[in-house]
Chain A
Amino acid sequence: MITTTHYMVLSAALFMIGVLGVVTRRNIIIIFMSIELILNAVNINLMAFSMRWGNPVGQVFTLFVIAVAAAEAAVGLGIILALYRNKDTINIDEMNIMRS
């Protein structure tokens, strides 16, 4: 029998992999994809609890998270493109134009 705990552990593991990607990779596109993985983990949790309590509001919030993820991806990738045209890099260690 699959309980909510199973979904929570799956979600935690997916979240962990996303965090791992964010903190270990230097390629900003892969960091963005890791953030998408984290959002997916959140969605799995929302869906699991929606099923658990028999309440569709969790699914509504999942839809909102998906919409916000789409907006975030569009704006973030636009920023990456603009930065690449100006600095010719997608390595976050070299993105320090605001420091000097």
Chain B
Amino acid sequence: MLTTLTFYTLAFLILVFAALVVTARNTVYSILFLVGDFLAVALLYAAMNSMFVAAIQVLVYAGGIVVLYLFVVMLVNLKRPAEEAIAPQRHNLLGWLLSAAVLGELVFLGVYNAFRSAAGPNLGPAGGTVGFVENVGVALYADYLIPFELASMLLLVAMVGAIILARREL
């Protein structure tokens, strides 16, 4: 019961914050709603017993990426609004239709598969110790060591690239 309540509360928060991110007129408000969204997703991970990923979500997303966005918005101080635009509503109807089609398809597939196959145990969100740091660490450093090192190389290359791109005389 408590699990159900937690899930619905967090799902509501996630969707509302995401909708606010997409619809907010002011980019800074958009970023603040994005922080709320990331924190709600982190809480969802925590409710799934995955404390490590929840901590990483808070550290990297809510702590790192969002600060990067804020810096860029502060540096890009527009004299005129970004979307005064030639025809701001031009693509909106098509966009809504496409998104609704994607959502309908995904929900249909999910529900269809859920009703079709009753095979396998359904552990539920709080069903195990999968998300504990020990299990994730063993999987990460034993089976996925080379992808892990490649990810660190990717981060290094991205950091150098970002510094070069953001230099003043480019």
Contact = CB atoms under 8 A, between A and B. Distances in A.
Interface of A: 1-21, 23-27, 29-30, 32-34, 36-37, 40, 43-44, 47-48, 50-57, 59-60, 62-64, 66-75, 77-82, 84-86, 89-91, 93
B76 A81 contact: yes
B72 A80 contact: yes
Interface in B13-66: 14-15, 18-19, 21-22, 27, 30-31, 34, 37-38, 41, 44-45, 48-50, 52-53, 56-57, 60-61, 64-65
Contacts of A26: 82-83, 85, 88
A74 B159 contact: yes
Contacts of A19: 98-99, 102
A77 B16 CA distance: 25
B85 A91 contact: yes
B21 A34 contact: yes
Contacts of A15: 102-103, 106
Nearest to A30: B30
Contact of B110 (A9, A32, A69, A74): A9
Main secondary structure, interface of A, reads helix
B103 A16 contact: yes
B102 to A, nearest CB: 6
22 contacts: A1-B124, A2-B7, A5-B114, A14-B14, A15-B102, A15-B106, A19-B99, A19-B102, A20-B95, A20-B96, A27-B83, A34-B22, A50-B130, A63-B136, A69-B60, A69-B65, A70-B65, A75-B162, A77-B71, A78-B162, A81-B72, A85-B168
Chain B interface bracket (under 10, 10 to 19, 20 to 34, 35 or more):
35 or more
Interface in B75-101: 75-76, 78, 82-83, 85-86, 88, 91-92, 94-96, 98-100
B41 to A, nearest CB: 5
B76 A80 contact: yes
Contacts of A50: 50, 130-131
A54 B123 contact: yes
B26 to A, nearest CB: 10
Contacts of A51: 48-50, 123-125, 127-128, 130-131
Contacts of A4: 114, 122
